[in-house]
Amino acid sequence: MSHQFPAPLPRRALGSTGLDVSCLGLGTVKIGRNEGVKYPAGFQLPDDALVRDILALCRDAGMNLIDTAPAYGSSEERLGALLTQRQDWVICSKVGEEFNAGHSHYDFSAAQVRRSIERSLRRLKTDYLDIVLIHSDGRDEALLRDGECLEALQRCRDAGLLRTIGMSTKTVAGGLLAVEKTDVVMVTFNPDAQEDAAVIGHAHALHKGVLIKKALNSGHAATPHDGARDADPVQRNLDFIFARPGISAVIIGSITPTHLRHNIEAALRATAPF
């Protein structure tokens, strides 16, 4: 079934990586994992038919960016089975975090980085990843300064297993350092969490890619504000985020086509020229 939108989602340069990404990307935690998550309500994992519908809706909207991770349960494997026309997608995955038996475990060793990337390639049924982010455990600066993780990623890039490197950060200082040392940074940014504005500004100045996570505060952005447009928390948050220069794309997860369509329409309004 085809979904009609007034215009395709605009695409933006991902810093100086040479990649162009849709301003809205699909987060896929909910495709593969429903335990140990921070959403306001529990949910069942979607069946294959629903995931296909979601991916078709994304394609019809002009979305080309999809975000996954080994820590997202069966997300990578399911995407590998259900994602078609690989060349049309910019796939972002991660290294460092695993989720087993209800808990996250971290390993940033060079050997594990290589194993993780090779496993992601098998699961996703592809021979390259467009973006690989360090899935930080909170020790952003230590991982970038002292660990072997970044060097291992660079070797994988040199081997053609991935195209560009970054970090999903948890601290402002780590974000600023990630901007200096990598190509892409993924940070939290919304009206209730503005600390990473400095990271976004630094990345913009250095022509680095910026991906936004937790744009809707993990589904908790639901407090009405005054004004007709502000009454919609999704619109309010996306208006706020896209008003900030330097943002390449916002990652939002959804397994409900109605919600996904609403997110797409809100992103179109938020990025429309005045």
- Nearest one of 64, 111, 61, 100 to 83, comparing CA atoms: 64
Helix residue spans in 61-209 (DSSP H) = 75-82, 110-124, 140-145, 149-158, 172-181, 197-205
Nearest-angstrom CA–CA distance, 30 and 37: 9
Q: Which of the residues 39, 72, 106, 128 is marked catalytic?
A: 72
Tokens of 71: 């820590």
128 is catalytic: no
Nearest-angstrom CA–CA distance, 76 and 172: 29
* Cβ-Cβ contacts under 8 Å for 133 (sequence gap 6 or more): 92, 93, 94, 95, 165, 166, 167, 168, 184, 186
Catalytic residues: 72
